[in-house]
Each structure stands twice: as C-alpha cells, then as structure tokens.
Amino acid sequence: GQSLEQPSEVTAVEGAIVQINCTYQTSGFYGLSWYQQHDGGAPTFLSYNALDGLEETGRFSSFLSRSDSYGYLLLQELQMKDSASYFCAHGGYQKVTFGTGTKLQVIP
C-alpha cells in the first residue's frame, strides 16, 4: 500500500518560516507534489519534486530525499493568507495518493 504522513497542525507567526514534513511509504516512486487548500476551496498545486534536492518557487520551496522517503514544504515570509491545509501527494498520471494533510495557522 501507499501512505504519506504529515503533522496534523502547525502554528507559526506572520513573517516567520515554517517547514511542513512528509514521510511516505510507496510501492514505486513517481515524485512528490504539494498542494494548498483553503477552507471550503479546491486544492491548488504548489510544487513537484521528481529528484532529490530543493525546488524553489517564490516564497515556497520543496525538498525531497528519496533515500529517506522524506520531503518537506518550506514557506518563508509567512502571510496571514497562507493559513490553509497543505497536502503532500504521490503519483502522476496514474492513481494519486494524498497525505493526511497539515493545517497551518498563521498568527499575527
């Protein structure tokens, strides 16, 4: 089977940096993606890692270590609008499995 584990909740201060971790167990590997979902909204794609290392997209960065079956999403210069749920996900064209999700609360 496939499973992706994340911390359930994280709280951080506006302007700070926060890291959301994802550990996974998969049969085969097709890359790790990250999605953001605001309450009541649809998930939106943030980033994708196929290979080890860091991918940077503006304030958001995502890291992958395939040997450790581990990745993280790094959010810098936190803004109140970043308060949302964040999901790691595995898979591409075939079945996609989402992680348990991390609810991020940004406080003033």
Partner 1 sequence: NAGVMQNPRHLVRRRGQEARLRCSPMKGHSHVYWYRQLPEEGLKFMVYLQKENIIDESGMPKERFSAEFPKEGPSILRIQQVVRGDSAAYFCATIEAGNEQFFGPGTRLTVL
Q: Is 100 in the site for partner 1 (CB under 8 A)?
A: yes
Q: Is 97 in the site for partner 1 (CB under 8 A)?
A: yes
Residue closer to partner 1 by CB (options 99, 108) is 99
Q: Is 36 in the site for partner 1 (CB under 8 A)?
A: no
SS3 category, 67? coil
Burial class (CB in 10 A: 0-12, 13-18, 19+), 94: exposed
Contact of 14 with 106, CB cutoff 8 Å: yes
> Residues in the site for partner 1, rule: CB under 8 A?
30-31, 33, 35, 41-45, 48, 50, 87, 92-101
